[in-house]
């Protein structure tokens, strides 16, 4: 069987699946302040999803898989966005550094990420293996539930009355 990597599966499905894996494993310690904070200064509200920290850690792990090494400043750039300044033009603002730091520390405590020799964090071999394993599970699930399009039924209308054998 050919190997499946994170690059071969849908990123939204992967992030959801990896977040569920992290939640079920019970090894991720969510900060107690996570239900009180916004994820960035440009946000108006805190996240609606109670499990947003798992999703953030999963998205960060996928990003490190794709482009490493990544430091706290890089994570702040990745999750940054546009601040609404009313009638003044919008500007780009970085996201919270504390959340980025805690997410990276969480991945380090799970032994999925390590500090690189030139700064930043990079994926460990165990992290690479775990992420690829979840990607292969997603690929198997998608293949087994693939939807085949039903063939359209051709319906011939028969008209009532005498039309000389021609149908409308």
**103 occurs within a structural domain:** yes
Distance CA 34, CA 56 (A): 12
As for how many domains the chain has, the answer is 1
**162 occurs within a structural domain:** no
Per-residue model confidence (pLDDT) at position 153: 77
Say how many C-beta atoms besides its own lie within 10 A of residue 13's C-beta.
Answer: 15
Per-residue model confidence (pLDDT) at position 161: 67
- Host domain of residue 23: 6-144
**131 occurs within a structural domain:** yes
**155 occurs within a structural domain:** no
What's the predicted TM-score (pTM) here? Answer: 0.78
- Collect all residues with Cβ–Cβ distance below 8 Å to 74 and sequence separation of at least 6: 120
**113 occurs within a structural domain:** yes
CATH number, residue 74: 1.10.10.10
Encode the chain (168 residues) as per-residue pLDDT tens digits. 458 888 888 899 999 999 999 999 888 888 888 888 888 888 888 888 888 999 999 999 999 999 989 999 999 999 999 999 999 999 999 999 999 999 999 999 999 999 989 988 999 999 999 999 999 999 888 877 766 666 677 777 777 766 665 655
Per-residue model confidence (pLDDT) at position 156: 78
**151 occurs within a structural domain:** no
Q: Is 115 helix (H, G, I), strand (E, B) or coil?
A: strand
Per-residue model confidence (pLDDT) at position 1: 45
End-to-end Cα spacing for the chain: 55
Give how far Cα 101 sits from Cα of 21, 47, 98, 129, Å.
21, 18, 5, 23
**166 occurs within a structural domain:** no
**119 occurs within a structural domain:** yes
Quick one: which of 96, 123, 2, 107 has its CA closest to 40? 96
């Amino acid at each position: 069987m050919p190997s499946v990597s994170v690059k071969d599966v849908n990123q939204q499905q992967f992030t959801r699946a990896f977040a569920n894996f992290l939640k079920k494993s019970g090894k991720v310690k969510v900060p107690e302040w996570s239900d009180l904070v916004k994820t960035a200064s440009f946000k108006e509200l805190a996240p609606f999803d109670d499990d947003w920290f798992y999703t953030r850690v999963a998205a960060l792990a996928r990003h490190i898989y794709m482009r490493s090494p990544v430091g706290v400043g890089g994570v702040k750039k990745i999750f940054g966005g546009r601040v609404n300044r009313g009638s003044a033009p919008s500007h780009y603002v970085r996201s919270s550094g504390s959340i980025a730091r805690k997410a990276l520390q969480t991945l380090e405590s799970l032994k999925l990420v390590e500090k690189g020799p030139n700064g930043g964090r990079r994926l460990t071999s165990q992290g690479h293996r775990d992420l690829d394993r979840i990607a292969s599970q997603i690929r198997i699930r998608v293949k087994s539930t693939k939807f085949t399009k039903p063939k359209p039924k051709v319906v011939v209308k028969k008209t009532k009355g005498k039309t000389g054998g021609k149908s409308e």
